[in-house]
Amino acid sequence: MASTFFEVIGQHQAPKDDQLANFKDQLEAVLFRHRLPELRSWREALSLLGDGVIEAARRARGRPVVVFFDELPWMATGGQLSDEFGRLFSSLFDDSGEHEKLVRACASKRSGMRRDELISAAGLKSGGRATRRLEELEAAGFLARFVPWGRKARDASYRLIDEFSLFHLTWIEPAPPSGFGSRGDKYWLSKASTPSYRAWAGYAFEGMCLKHVSEIEAALGIDGMASEAGTWRYAPPRGVDADAGAQVDLSIDRSDGIIHLCELKYAADEFVLTKAYAKQLVTKAEIFKTRTKTRKDIVLTLVTTHGLKPGLWNDEVVHSVVTADQLMG
């Protein structure tokens, strides 16, 4: 039996009723093979899609069921998901206001926040209640907790890793009303070349990497080895040259005496390792070794979207490279 492939394409500037009718036609043709009632909302349409995919998976007997959306922004006509952020928390948690406050606070500092700092920034009282909220957000995949290399669990920091929350807080919530009108595509296209877009893309990619540490280890061929994943940061005392500081996005401490310092870098194309950046990486490794006083061997690993472009400094600096394809398994 062949794979089931459901494809729907948004129509440019078509009204909501036409978009839903097109969606219904595809549901009938691919997943249900019988007439369906008129769709009144996207909630109804997506609910039917879910039912259809489940039934197709049963019929497929182990073969994949592929759902492909093209031109999704055109499909989402006067529906900018502006209220979905609040709904998301209320559907998952009791007293969800506190959960939302913690996520908003965590999003404000992308390098991560320690427990007490995060609770204070959210305007909550420290104690068991706040701890439970953090545990619930971690279990639900909103926040990730990382222990800095060589430190104790009490020194852990939290980072926002939920892609939708990050996207909503960065782009949807601050956007002007005109960004969701008929000419909103121009607004969004203008954002794609801004420093804020590159910063968001970089942070979102880091979050994806931190959620896929097991896949990184598999790509490095060390998934069968005991290891500890963490982060690390050194800030020099006030008045000292800032270049003396360093931050490690992800460290993987292997049981065989090797530590991977992983640099997580989003790039639209193959990453180019310049002489200046190569020097920064070498300096970072030296600072790490000096400040931690570790006797383990340090190797530099680059985790980047499309791999590393051949260059003069690659072999001298980078021990191993992991791509986004490998992260996705």
Whether pLDDT at 66 is above 80:
yes
Ranking 70-74, 107-111, 156-160, 259-263 by mean pLDDT, the lowest is: 70-74
Among 21-30, 64-73, 77-86, 290-299, top mean pLDDT goes to 290-299
pLDDT of residue 106: 95
> Which residue in the block uniquely carries the two structure tokens 């879910």?
50
Strands 246-254 and 297-304, sheet pairing: unpaired
Query: How many other CB atoms are found less than 10 A from the CB of residue 39?
Result: 20
Domain with CATH 3.40.1350 in the chain: 213-327
pLDDT of residue 202: 93
Whether pLDDT at 64 is above 90:
no
Q: Which is nearest to 264 in space by CA: 314, 214, 304?
A: 304
Question: How far is 265 from 271, CA to CA, in rounded Å?
Answer: 8
Ranking 57-71, 116-130, 276-290 by mean pLDDT, the lowest is: 57-71
Q: Give the CATH number of domain 213-327.
A: 3.40.1350
Residues in a beta bridge with 261: 251, 300
In the predicted model, what is the mean pLDDT of residues 120-130?
94
Phi, psi of 10 (to 5 degrees): -65, 145
pLDDT of residue 241: 66
Return the CATH number of 84-193, one of 1.10.3720.10, 1.20.140.10, 3.10.129.10, 1.10.10.10.
Answer: 1.10.10.10
pLDDT class of 323 with cuts at 50, 70, 90 = very high
pLDDT of residue 195: 92
Q: Which is nearest to 161 in space by CA: 199, 196, 209, 117?
A: 209
Domain with CATH 1.10.10.10 in the chain: 84-193
pLDDT of residue 72: 65
Ranking 24-33, 94-103, 118-127 by mean pLDDT, the lowest is: 24-33
pLDDT tens-digit map of 247-274: 999 999 999 999 999 999 999 999 999 9
pLDDT class of 71 with cuts at 50, 70, 90 = low
Ranking 23-37, 64-78, 132-146, 200-214 by mean pLDDT, the lowest is: 64-78
pLDDT class of 82 with cuts at 50, 70, 90 = low
Contacts by residues 308-317 (CB-CB < 8 Å, ≥ 24 positions apart): 308/270, 308/271, 308/273, 309/269, 309/270, 309/271, 309/272, 309/273, 311/272, 311/273, 312/275, 313/273, 313/274, 313/275, 313/278, 314/273, 316/278, 317/273, 317/278, 317/281, 317/282
**pTM for this prediction:** 0.72
pLDDT class of 1 with cuts at 50, 70, 90 = very low
pLDDT of residue 30: 86
